[in-house]
Amino acid sequence: MEQLARPAIERLCEQDDLRYPDGPAGLVLVVLYTKAPKALHFKFGELQRVGKKHWHKWNADFDDVAFRKALVALRTGRPTSEIAGQRSWLLEHGDTVYGGGVAEDNALAVAASGLKEEADEAAAWTVYNIIAMLVNLEFKKLKTSGTDNV
């Protein structure tokens, strides 16, 4: 999955207009799957700050923010941009209010933090869809091999 996603996500990280002023040129991505024993964490691009003008704004734990976005997406089964923008009643005390987490159900969620919310969400959807593709291809192999059970 990472080999397929890394080139596209690193290109996102290189785009100045997708970063906040003096923000990092990278992001942290978290994958949560309910049947996995722990979250997967990936780093893309350069997480060092590119300037000191707004240093106080970027003293953030991107891994923690991405993890909290993924938790909201997993619990609600929806993208966090939708929850924060149109379904705020689903937010609970302590939830992050940022976009960048994605899910379509309550089993798999992917979230990113480090770039602008729209870019974080694009990176998350990229990984989410690659995971879905790979899982569905494996399932298709099982079906065509004559297996009746997963």
> Rounded distance, CA 38 to CA 22, Å?
32
pTM summary value: 0.89
Query: Under a CB-based contact definition with an 8 Å cutoff, are residues 99 and 120 in contact?
Result: yes
> Rounded distance, CA 103 to CA 81, Å?
11
Dihedral over alpha carbons 58, 60, 61, 67 (to 10 degrees): -100
**CATH architecture of the domain with residue range 2-144:** 2-Layer Sandwich (3.30)
Summarised one tens digit per residue, pLDDT across range 99-136 is 999 999 999 999 999 999 999 999 999 999 999 999 99
Q: What is the pLDDT of residue 47?
A: 79
Q: What is the distance, to the nearest Å, from the Cα of residue 51 to the centroid of all Cα atoms in its chain?
A: 25
Summarised one tens digit per residue, pLDDT across range 78-89 is 999 999 999 999
Average of pLDDT values for 13-32? Answer: 92
Please determine, for residue 51, whether its predicted confidence score (pLDDT) is greater than 60: no
pLDDT class of 50 with cuts at 50, 70, 90:
low
